[in-house]
A and B are shown apart, each in its own frame.
Chain A
Amino acid sequence: MLKHSSLKPISEQEAKGEIDRVYHEIMQTMRVTGVNLNFRTWASWENFLPLMWDAMRPIVGTLAFEQAGDEVRKRTVSEVRALPTVSAFHSAGLGESQAFQVHAALRLYHYINPKLLVFTSAVRLALMGHAVSHALEPSEPIVLGPPDGMFPMEMVEEGEEEKRIKAIFEDIASTLSLATINSDYRTLALWPEYLDQAWRALKPITQTVEYNSAADRIRELARDFAQRLPAPAGLTSAAVKDTGENVDQILKTTSNFERILPPLILNIAILTGECETDYSRLVSPFPAELRKPLFSGGGR
């Protein structure tokens, strides 16, 4: 059975006021078509999310942050080379359009998850009061907004799952010790046969020492990058406490996300291996462009 978390993530549809504002900015600044479970869960502390986001936003919309995500993705791809491959597309009997869409969904998460991990690590470090070490150079702003051609973050809604999807979700949750099913699995559940085959292939891999060591290394790399990003101004445990929110609970949840994201990143990279070359998996599916200055100067 799914271990139901006491926290109720706030969906995009339910978001109001400040949460609605932050969700919009998340999609623009993270360059993504939907709001991942991390943010929806953080939103259940309604004073925390805006405080945290306003501190993180200037860091996120920069080339340095984007490149940190790129490096985590690259490391992940090199880690999965040593892990078994899977063959879920064929065994799921996907049609041409279905295969295209599954691939597009995998590209979405292959892009966003590494960024999400760096983000989560940065939030955790800030709440723990870690000082910035060997900070990266001040970074240039990138063009914001979800890239053209990125798949929508469409997913099977909670409570709307078919029986067989529910069973797969329960198996995923108990195997990976998840309290809530991540957006990725909910998206892949749009093609139940694919999710079924993919999870059957992934499950034994997730039980191996090699896989878990790889997840640890990815987590460490993300922490390293997070530590070198500029410190998010104003995001401290004292500031969060001042808003009346429970810092310990937030930190615990944030640490948990930092724990579960590396396996998720690995899983998506493994699945992506079936439809992409090693090289195309290494590079960002949606490379960021630098934002051009509004006025280039030199005019009279």
Chain B
Amino acid sequence: MNWRAFQAIQKVTELGPRFLSYVDEGEGDPVILMHGIPTWGFLFRDLIESLTAKRRVLAPDLLGFGFSDKRDCFDRSIGRQTEALIAWMDKLRLDRADIVGHDIGGGIALRLAALHPARVGRLCVMNGVSYDAWPIELMLQFGHPENRRKMSAGEASTMLKRALKSGFAVAPEDEFLDGLLAPYGTETGKTSLIRNAAALNTNLTTEITHLLPQISAPTLILWGQEDSFQLAKFGKRLASDIPGAKFVPIEKAKHFVMIDQHEIVARELQAFLYI
């Protein structure tokens, strides 16, 4: 499925004046997949297919990302994203769901589990942001407000594509990479992504560090061992802080672990989610 076909299966929910696009496939108990920066739900294209046999899989585009609202007028911090996610779950009448988060989606997943434990069934963090391990230098620089004026949308896409490639053990096909960046190829998309980068705030994970030992959801920490964006040591630290959490290092995988080792990740998740 190319990105346009993926976009065509997205549904939409209005959250006050904002809107959030998401994929909702399969039937069964819900599992929510949350992407990070600078991607969107399309990142989980193959994983969704691997999980829908027995589960209802939802993959939202976070506010300001993908084909969700990209207007330049709201807070995109993971604190706000967590609240938006709860509002979205309420709209969909999802009292509780299993949560899988990658990159900043991992940070949101941790906040959900720590601050809203009743909403989380099982928790999986894949190369997610945590503690003071983020934002990475690249995103700190990208989030500078002046970049909106300095960089055209085309230049930003070229730069991001180069940077994204370093997050894979083996670079995927151009078509997939271009698809990951497609929503950001316009001036609006570029500005939105810059604002998203500007909203990355380490305090929003450091402030929940003391709550990690209180997380009660069964937890799986999957980590691409060769990730240079989010180092594996932080994954191990999470596993030691969250009671009963299982740490699964994935060899020959970098930041985008679900692409680098799709079959292993799918198998681990299926086992964890009882599929």
Contact = CB atoms under 8 A, between A and B. Distances in A.
Interface of A: 11-13, 16, 33-34, 93-98, 100-101, 104, 146, 148-157, 159-160, 190
B10 A154 contact: no
A1 to B, nearest CB: 23
Interface of B: 7-12, 16-17, 19, 21-22, 67, 70-73, 148-149, 152-154, 185-189
B148 to A, nearest CB: 7
Nearest to A33: B71
B49 to A, nearest CB: 17
B24 to A, nearest CB: 10
Contacts of B71: 33, 150-152
B11 A101 contact: no
Contact of A154 (B9, B16, B17, B188): B188
Contacts of B17: 148-149
Given A148-B17, A149-B17, A157-B153, A98 B10 contact: yes
Contacts, number: 69
A160 B185 contact: yes
Given A95-B10, A97-B12, A98-B10, A13 B187 contact: yes
Contact of A96 (B10, B73, B149, B152): B10
Nearest to B23: A97
Contacts of A101: 12, 19, 67
Contact of B187 (A12, A93, A95, A146): A12
A97 B11 contact: yes
Nearest to B66: A97
Contacts of A146: 73
17 contacts: A95-B8, A96-B11, A97-B7, A98-B8, A98-B10, A98-B67, A100-B19, A146-B73, A150-B71, A152-B72, A154-B186, A155-B187, A157-B153, A157-B154, A157-B185, A157-B186, A157-B187
Q: Which 7 A-B pairs have the closest CB atoms?
A: A154-B188, A148-B17, A97-B10, A95-B8, A97-B12, A97-B21, A149-B17
Contacts of B9: 95
A149 B18 CA distance: 6
